[in-house]
Structure 1
Amino acid sequence: MLRLFRFLKPFRMTVLLVLVLTFFQVLSELYLPTLMADIVDLGIVQADIPYILKIGGLMLLVTAGGALCSVIAGFLSSKVASGFGKDLRSRIFTHVESFSLREFDQIGTASLITRTTNDITQIQQVLMMMLRMAVMAPMMCIGGVIMALSRDARLSWVIVAIIPILAGAIFTIARKGLPLFKAMQTKLDKLNRVTRENLTGIRVIRSFNRVGHEKKRFDFANRDLMDTGIRVNRLMAAMMPTMMLVLNFSTIAIVWFGGIRIDHGNMQVGDLMAFIQYAMQIMFSLIMLSVIFVMIPRASVSANRVREVLDLVPEITDAPQVREADGMKGTVEFRDVTFSYPGAEKPALSHISFRANPGEVTAIIGGTGSGKSTLIHLIPRFHDVDSGSVRVDGVDVREMSQETLRAKIGLVPQKAVLFTGTVAENIRYGKESATDEEIRHAAEIAQAAPFIAEMKDGYQSLISQGGTNVSGGQKQRLSIARALVRRPEIYIFDDSFSALDFKTDANLRRALKQETADSTLLIVAQRVSTVMDADRIIVLDEGKIAGIGTHHELMKTCDVYREIVSSQLSEEEIA
């Protein structure tokens, strides 16, 4: 956890001020019992009313000063903790944005959300306590011991006898609590994962009548977390009564032995009252430390989880010296590319070689699992190849900066993703500076203008979270418009026409042909009708190229392509 405290660097002056204010607050609290003893021994015993009023007024001033220091220190510590949490969340979010898909799979989306929210909140709360309690408790304990010794050194042996008992109880509880805190965070991850799967997959769950099954899954994860939480709270609940029991017995012992010393004339009543106050301060400081020791293990678990994210080095990074394109615009070339997913028994792609040029349409077709989407994901460098190279404009994508590479590409993913906001904002996501005219033009090319015009507020109509208020075909057309408004050198359509009817599909491809005449088009498709007119069709079969050519060439030379065509078209259409 200490490694994360480097994010406190911008707040070091505020932290120093909190420490100074806490120090003066502790001084005021340590001074009050001495003043009270003076009132009793010198004021009440001698019936000196002016002295009582004088010292009483001084006590009020000291109390007011301590309260003011406490309020300001509390405000500043809250401000520091909140700023620390904000900076840490921003750091994690920025770092996670640089992750490749492999890192996302390694940690898990649900766990990343938990680490960015709940875990940082745990650290933030403990930091705020540490800025106050962790500083105040040692000062109070040491100061209380010194002041108690100054009142009566022999009576201080009661405190010496009590401290090991309290320390042992604190250590025992902290040792038992740490494994439970670790388990709680892991089980919270699981609960978040189950909840997320239920919310995102609600349509599938309902369509298969699995609501009851999912409710059982959620209840199991929820109860598992609750049971662990109850064990933790039961452990914590036992701590305070134990502390108070020790505290009360120590008070009885102090009064008992203090009374004996007063009776023998070795101590005054006021000194005994002050001694009791200092003993209470010492005990309460130890209780504060026990609370911190209980909270620190949980925060330590959270800090380790956050540090795991920050220490995770992205597999895909920019080269130390990036290269720029050598004049070509939009050329994509695969040179003997082989790629395997981690842990896979065989490569997803093997020895892939082809070239796609500007002004051409390159289509990729093949059966399910043949590697079509994997192939096009290598172009924007979502994954790195195992061997061979993927080149854009003649430069290996591993030698280009990721920002430069992806600025050349307009990708329409297989699963259309829309963001909360207006229709215009979703299209403008492809190009932040796009004008309203550019947005309308992109929507017209994508065949999205007609249904946008029918929406209540047109381009200012709101898209709900996940695009649930538009159909699958409308989502795809908005995603296509988002890529078109960017006007990139390379367009990649990953099975982006699957939800469109044949008429819309044909109109869209006709409009695309004119709009993207100078760009490189790569289209992944399941429909033969979508790829028939392509300049080049690449047929994939189990991660290997089964054939490359035009529709007519492949019908003569590629058995796999003929099977795909015959399964979709009638003999009259094939002829």
Structure 2
Amino acid sequence: MTKTLKRLAGYYKPYKGLFFSDMFFAILGAGITLVIPLLVRYITSTVVYLPSDKSTDMIVKLGIFMIVLVLIEAFCNFYIAYYGHIMGASIERDMRNEIFSHYQKLSFAFYDNQKVGHLLSRITADLFDISELLHHGPEDLVISIIKFVGAFGILMFINVRLALAAFLFIPFLILYAVYFNKKMKRAFRENRARIADINTQIEDSLSGIRVVKSFANEKVEMKKFRQGNERFVNSKKLSYKYMGTYNSGMGAFTTLITISVLLTGAFYLTKGEMPVEDLVTVLLYINNFTDPVKKLITFTEQFQNGYSGYSRFLEIMAVAPDIQDALDAEEVSDVKGAIDFENVSFAYEGTQEKVLSHVNLKVKAGEYVALVGSSGAGKTTLCSLIPRFYDVTEGRVLLDGEDIRELKLQSLRNQIGIVQQDVYLFAGTVMENIRYGKPDATDEEVIRAAKAANAHEFIMELEQGYDTDIGQRGVKLSGGQKQRLSIARVFLKNPPILIFDEATSALDNESEKIVQQSLENLAKDRTTFVIAHRLSTIRKAQRILVLTEDGIAEEGTHEELMKKNGIYSSLYKLSFA
């Protein structure tokens, strides 16, 4: 825990000035609250007994002084509330940048086993609680200690017996707090998991809202949401039970302290062993004495929230990217596009079953290769190994004779363009989505890429042309239009290696014809891998590979494979049956 807290404290480093000024004003404000009751004691024990003209003059001066102290305290409270929150928000921003940057580095294998809602919860709710702890935690702790220790010292100076009466319940209060803190920590952690589940449910339901409505399943989604929401409330009930017991118990202890001091003071007053101003002053300090206890209650609550959030933050940050640059990785330059698979085997993380087993394949630079076969044969997996979305389990993949694991990831992926069946377009304009292929491209370059992809014509028919907002995931466009934008994006990137992953299988015949023409334009003079569902689209391929669970079963041109009358011939005839 000490190591974790030390690491958490490291986030203050860029904001040392703000942190120390925040602490200074917190200490100054706490000091002022300790001074004012002493001034009250001085007035009630000394000033009121001076001659009338002197006492009046002194009361006016002390009154002005106390007003000045109150104004200074008000400024201190403003400073720690405003600038302290700015510091907390800045740290939250830094941590959000850090975790989002880490998300970008993690491989497909990580995301295969994660829910978006859980990842979203770690970057929003968790980080807010951490920033609240980092802002309020230190100042609340410092203010509480100053008030607590200061009030105890002053109480001991004024009257030892009253001070001891005040501290009679402190050991019990500490034991009580420690016991329920542990209970609350477990409950808060459970709350985090439940709210992440709800985020996942919302994200899933809203992302698939068209499917929901097409099946008229709004009630089903509402039922699922209510179940998750109910689990969240149940976990909250437990945490509120502990919190309620904790707060009520701590409140009872602080009241008992006041009663203890009052009864002890009253006892000694009746015996004439204590001046009344001592009891008045001590009662004023009891408020200063119990206030830190209340702040500590808030602090422990914040600490549980913030620490459990930071623990979850560290869990993600501890996940090392399983695909990253080697220490001596090189930049890719002058790529021809020859791809070799040497004895390649692959199994997904957590499974023993191999998707690919001892595959050997040589693809020349500029060659057009089609991959066919039944679902689960490993076509997409084989192509996913080229840009290192996954790393081979055995063997190696070579680009122009170099092992791709010895090349820098970004440099490698810059050489590869991928057009998938399930096109992902970002919320924004047509121009922004095409420019994603080359972020520094000019408008003219974007338009040239759109023309090459047969997309310019339909774009100009849109209400605002290239500045048209296409909605979340391009919802305002047809399947063929979205596909052509994704092709334009790759045209703009202009890579020497292409992967078409069933890019036309979800389109109607007319759209397929246009998109197929765009793909053929794009594939000219580039090393191209085509994963084909519709076999009619790959008849012109220079090589067709038939993948089965046992590896590459057949290889050749369309005409050669049809003559063999084997697997490819059966698949082709079946597709036209």
TM-score bracket, shorter-length normalisation: over 0.9
1: CA distance, partners of 2:40 / 2:474 = 69
Structure 2 residue 17 is the aligned partner of structure 1 residue 17: no
2:87 matched residue in structure 1? 80
**3-state SS in 1 of match to 2:426:** coil
* Deviation (angstroms), 1:493: 1.0
2: CA distance, partners of 1:533 / 1:251 = 92
Structure 2 residue 497 is the aligned partner of structure 1 residue 490: yes
2:323 matched residue in structure 1? 316
2: CA distance, partners of 1:165 / 1:514 = 80
The amino acid across from 1:482 in the alignment is: R
Structure 2 residue 187 is the aligned partner of structure 1 residue 180: yes
* Deviation (angstroms), 1:478: 1.0
* Deviation (angstroms), 1:365: 1.2
Query: What's the Cα RMSD here?
Result: 1.9
- Does the 8 A contact of 2:344 with 2:357 survive in 1? yes
1: CA distance, partners of 2:94 / 2:461 = 44
Compute the TM-score of the two structures, normalised by the length of structure 2. 0.94
Q: 1:38 aligns with which of 32, 36, 42?
A: 42
2: CA distance, partners of 1:57 / 1:507 = 85
Matches within 5 A, 1:337-486: 337-486=344-493
- Does the 8 A contact of 1:363 with 1:538 survive in 2? yes
2: CA distance, partners of 1:358 / 1:59 = 85
1:573 matched residue in structure 2? none
2: CA distance, partners of 1:390 / 1:97 = 23
2: CA distance, partners of 1:223 / 1:471 = 39
CA 543–303 in structure 1, closer or farther in 2 if over 3 Å, else same: farther
1: CA distance, partners of 2:483 / 2:520 = 18
Which deviations, in whole Å up to 9, do the C-alpha atoms of 1:531-568 show, x marking residues without a partner? 11011111111261111111111112361101110012
1:253 matched residue in structure 2? 260
2: CA distance, partners of 1:481 / 1:247 = 70
* Deviation (angstroms), 1:88: 0.3
* Deviation (angstroms), 1:260: 3.0
2: CA distance, partners of 1:422 / 1:182 = 40
1:99 matched residue in structure 2? 106
Matches within 5 A, 1:13-162: 13-46=17-50, 48-162=55-169
Which deviations, in whole Å up to 9, do the C-alpha atoms of 1:384-443 show, x marking residues without a partner? 001111112221111100011011011112310001111111111101232333322322
Matched-pair identity in %: 32
Compute the TM-score of the two structures, normalised by the length of structure 1. 0.95
CA 147–238 in structure 1, closer or farther in 2 if over 3 Å, else same: same
- Does the 8 A contact of 1:439 with 1:485 survive in 2? yes
Which deviations, in whole Å up to 9, do the C-alpha atoms of 1:354-390 show, x marking residues without a partner? 2223332111111112111111111110000011111
1:281 matched residue in structure 2? 288
The amino acid across from 1:279 in the alignment is: I
Deviates more, 1:216-225 or 1:291-300: 291-300
Which deviations, in whole Å up to 9, do the C-alpha atoms of 1:228-256 show, x marking residues without a partner? 22332343234444333333332232222
2: CA distance, partners of 1:115 / 1:108 = 11
1: CA distance, partners of 2:64 / 2:518 = 88
2: CA distance, partners of 1:171 / 1:163 = 12
- Does the 8 A contact of 2:340 with 2:360 survive in 1? yes
* Deviation (angstroms), 1:523: 1.1
1:519 matched residue in structure 2? 526
CA 509–24 in structure 1, closer or farther in 2 if over 3 Å, else same: same
Matches within 5 A, 1:495-510: 495-510=502-517
- Does the 8 A contact of 1:4 with 1:307 survive in 2? no
Number of matched residues? 570
- Does the 8 A contact of 2:344 with 2:356 survive in 1? yes
CA 304–558 in structure 1, closer or farther in 2 if over 3 Å, else same: farther
The amino acid across from 1:308 in the alignment is: E
- Does the 8 A contact of 2:99 with 2:123 survive in 1? yes
Could you list the runs of 5+ residues in structure 2 that have no partner in the other structure?
none
- Does the 8 A contact of 2:335 with 2:496 survive in 1? no
Which deviations, in whole Å up to 9, do the C-alpha atoms of 1:311-365 show, x marking residues without a partner? 1110001011013558551222211211001233421111222222333211111
**3-state SS in 2 of match to 1:462:** coil
2: CA distance, partners of 1:117 / 1:247 = 36
2: CA distance, partners of 1:325 / 1:256 = 83
**3-state SS in 1 of match to 2:350:** coil
The amino acid across from 1:112 in the alignment is: L
**3-state SS in 1 of match to 2:396:** strand
- Does the 8 A contact of 1:546 with 1:558 survive in 2? no
